[in-house]
Structures are given as C-alpha cells and as structure tokens.
C-alpha cells in the first residue's frame, strides 16, 4: 500500500527529496511558503496542502526541509502550523539543519501533543539529494525512525540513528564546520597556487591524486576557477551552520580558531551580497585579499 507522506519546504533539497519519494511510489502532499514552487511536484503526482497544518492533518508522518532555525520554528509554532494538527499516531521529521536547542523545542512541543518527533538532518548536497544518496543523521523517536526507514532508503544511501534528540543536529553541525573550514583552506590554496605562478588546474590534479582528495574539491574546484558559484549549497546556509557550530563550541568551552576564521570569511561574503550563491563563493573573498 502507498504510504501518505507530507513534505514541507521545497527549496533546493526539499524539491529533490520529495521528487524521489513521489517517483518511488509514496503518496506525497507538499507545502511550501511560496506556494507556486509546489506546481512542479503536482505535475509529478503530488497533492498540495494549503498550510503545514493541512498537510499534517492528512498524513501519518510529515517531513520538513527548511532553511534555518527561524523557519523550522515558524512552520511548527505559527498559526496554521504543524502543532495545530499533530497528535497521537502522527509523526514529524525535521530534516533541516538547525541547532540542538531548536530541535529540542520542537521535540517538546510535538510530544506534549502526543505526536512523535525525529530530527534527521542530512549530509550531502543537491546532487546526492537528486540521486537519493544522502546520509541521514537521525535522532529522537526510534519507532518513528523505523516507520520512516522506507522513505529514508529512497532519499539516502545510509541512515544513522544517533540516540537522543540533539545528537543529529550536533553531528550535522560538526560535519559542516569541518566542511566550511575545508572550503576556506581550499580557496586559499587555489589563490596561493595562482598568486605564486602555478597553474591552479595542476593543483586540482595533484590534490585529486593524494591523501586529501575528496568529492568537494573535485566537484567544485573547476567551477570555482571560473567564478561559477551556481548554488548547490547556498553560502548563507553554510554561514548559519558555522555560526551554530561555533555556538556549540562556546557551550562546551572549546576553542575553534580555524572555524571562527572561516565563519568571518563567510560573513564577509554575505556582506558582499554573495549569500545566495554556492558556499564556494567564499573563494571570491579570499581572492579579494590577495592584493
């Protein structure tokens, strides 16, 4: 029997993830703040819910993929939000990247109404989302995790259950902190190669054959050298993740000078109006500093 799943948030990631669910035979009801973004999904067979509450009313479990803590909270707590219809026998799964505090607030509100809650942020970007190859970092209600496993198998290549609420968010923030720092180091390397008379394309080839070869350098490097920063992972979201990871470090009295410097570069990029470009656009900030 087809399972009825709700999906809130059809940005870069949510669109790809919900499309895969539809293509795999799930009955999907979608909602997006900008409702026109639902049209493409409806063409593939999705139904539209007029509000988050309307989606939850209809579906046994509902997935959200929203920009940040503010939007994750708004979709749950505001008028016509998730909280109005969640209750016994219904599940809510937030796959957005947020901090543990946001996730905990949502968890408390959902469970106090009798619903079950799972946080399940993902590692992997637009392409893995399209290919159903995400890595899912779930925590919270184990029964809901098991109930959603068929959907996770469609959206991802591997799911982790990390225990109590907050652990999914923490894992995701640690991963993205490392990634954001790597992107800054990579940008500095490209600028240093070029600035010291090397061909930066040669650097890409050398890197790709060594111990620090990785899909991010391989996938983004050639486009960065052309200043092509078509967004897969918007820079404003990467900066949000650095900020939230630094807050996590703060709470645990951990000094993270590399991440702090990377965060400054992402903030600078945002101030230059680059927030909607891919996070590789931090390269433009590093390049600017070479003169």
Which of 57, 58, 113, 126 binds ligand NDP (CB under 6 A)? It is 126
Among ligand O=CCCC(=O)O, ligand NDP, none, the one that 136 touches (CB under a kind-dependent 5 to 8 A) is none
Q: Counting contacts by CB under 6 A, is residue 13 touching ligand NDP?
A: yes
Residue found by looking up tokens 């000078």 in the block: 257
Secondary structure of residue 93 in the 3-state scheme: strand
**Smallest gap, in angstroms, from Cβ of residue 168 to ligand O=CCCC(=O)O?**
13
Question: What part of residues 69-98 is at the interface with ligand O=CCCC(=O)O (CB under 6 A)?
Answer: 97
Nearest to 172, CA basis, from 39, 79, 85, 72: 72
Residue 157 within binding range of ligand NDP, rule CB under 6 A:
no
Q: Is 268 a catalytic residue?
A: no
Residue with tokens 């905990």: 104
Which ranges constitute the DSSP H helices of the chain? Answer: 12-23, 39-43, 52-58, 69-77, 100-112, 126-131, 142-147, 149-155, 167-195, 200-208, 215-225, 235-251, 257-271, 282-288
- For ligand O=CCCC(=O)O, give the closer residue by CB, 134 or 165: 134
List the structure tokens of 265: 């570069």
Least separation in angstroms between residue 52's CB and ligand O=CCCC(=O)O is 22
Tell whether residue 123 is a contact of ligand O=CCCC(=O)O (CB under 6 A).
yes
User: How many residues of this chain interact with ligand NDP, rule: CB under 6 A?
Assistant: 26
Which of the residues 106 through 125 are near ligand NDP (CB under 6 A)? 122, 125
Query: Residues with Cβ < 8 Å from 196, sequence gap 6 or more?
Result: none
* DSSP β-bridge partners for residue 30: 7, 48
Closest CA to 155 of 1, 53, 28: 28
Choosing from 79, 126, 150, 172, the catalytic residue is 172
At 160, which helix (H) or strand (E)? strand 156-161
Among 6, 49, 124, 140, binds ligand O=CCCC(=O)O (CB under 6 A): 124
Q: Report d(CA 124, CA 133) in Å as an integer.
A: 7
CB of 78 to ligand O=CCCC(=O)O, least distance (A): 25
Judged by beta carbon, residue 137 or residue 144, the one nearer ligand NDP is 137
CB 84 within 8 A of CB 78: no
Residue 166 contacts which entry, ligand NDP, ligand O=CCCC(=O)O, none (Cβ below 5-8 A, type-dependent): none
The CA angle 109-113-119, to the nearest 5 degrees, is 50
> What token pair was written down for 134?
């995400």
Q: Name which position in 140, 168, 234, 275 contacts ligand NDP (CB under 6 A).
A: 234
Q: Can residue 66 be called a binding residue for ligand NDP (CB under 6 A)?
A: yes
Radius of gyration of the chain (CA): 20
For residue 167, the number of C-alpha atoms closer than 13 Å in the C-beta half-sphere is 13
Least distance between ligand O=CCCC(=O)O and beta carbon 70 (Å): 17
Binding site for ligand O=CCCC(=O)O (CB under 6 A): 97, 123-125, 176, 233
Which are the catalytic amino acids?
172
Binding site for ligand NDP (CB under 6 A): 9-14, 32-34, 37, 65-68, 71, 74-75, 96-97, 122, 125-126, 232-234, 237
């Amino acid at each position: 029997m087809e399972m009825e799943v709700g999906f809130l948030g059809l940005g870069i990631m949510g669109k790809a993830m919900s499309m895969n669910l539809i293509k795999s035979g799930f009955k999907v009801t979608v909602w997006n703040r900008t409702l026109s973004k639902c049209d493409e999904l409806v063409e593939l067979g999705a139904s539209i819910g007029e509000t988050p509450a309307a989606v939850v009313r209809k579906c046994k479990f509902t997935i959200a993929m929203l920009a940040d803590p503010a939007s994750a909270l708004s979709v749950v707590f505001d008028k016509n939000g998730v909280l109005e219809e969640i209750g016994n026998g219904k599940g809510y799964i937030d796959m957005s990247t947020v901090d543990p505090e946001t996730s905990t607030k949502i968890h408390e509100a959902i469970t106090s109404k009798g619903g079950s809650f799972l946080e399940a942020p993902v590692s992997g970007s637009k392409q893995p989302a399209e290919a159903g190859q995400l890595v899912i970092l779930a925590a919270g209600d184990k029964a809901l995790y098991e109930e959603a496993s068929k959907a996770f198998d469609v959206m991802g290549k591997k799911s982790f259950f990390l225990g109590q609420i907050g652990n999914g968010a923490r894992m995701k923030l640690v991963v993205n902190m490392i990634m954001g720092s790597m992107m800054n180091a990579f940008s500095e390397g490209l600028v240093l190669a070029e600035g010291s008379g090397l061909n930066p394309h040669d650097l890409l080839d050398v890197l790709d054959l060594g111990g620090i070869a990785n899909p991010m350098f391989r996938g983004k490097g050639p486009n960065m050298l052309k200043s092509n920063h078509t967004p897969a992972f918007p820079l404003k979201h990467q900066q949000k993740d650095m900020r939230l990871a630094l807050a996590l470090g703060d709470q645990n009295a951990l000094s993270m000078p590399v991440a702090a410097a990377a965060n400054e570069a992402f903030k600078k990029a945002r101030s230059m109006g680059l927030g909607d470009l891919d996070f590789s656009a931090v390269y433009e900030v590093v390049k600017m500093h070479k003169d």
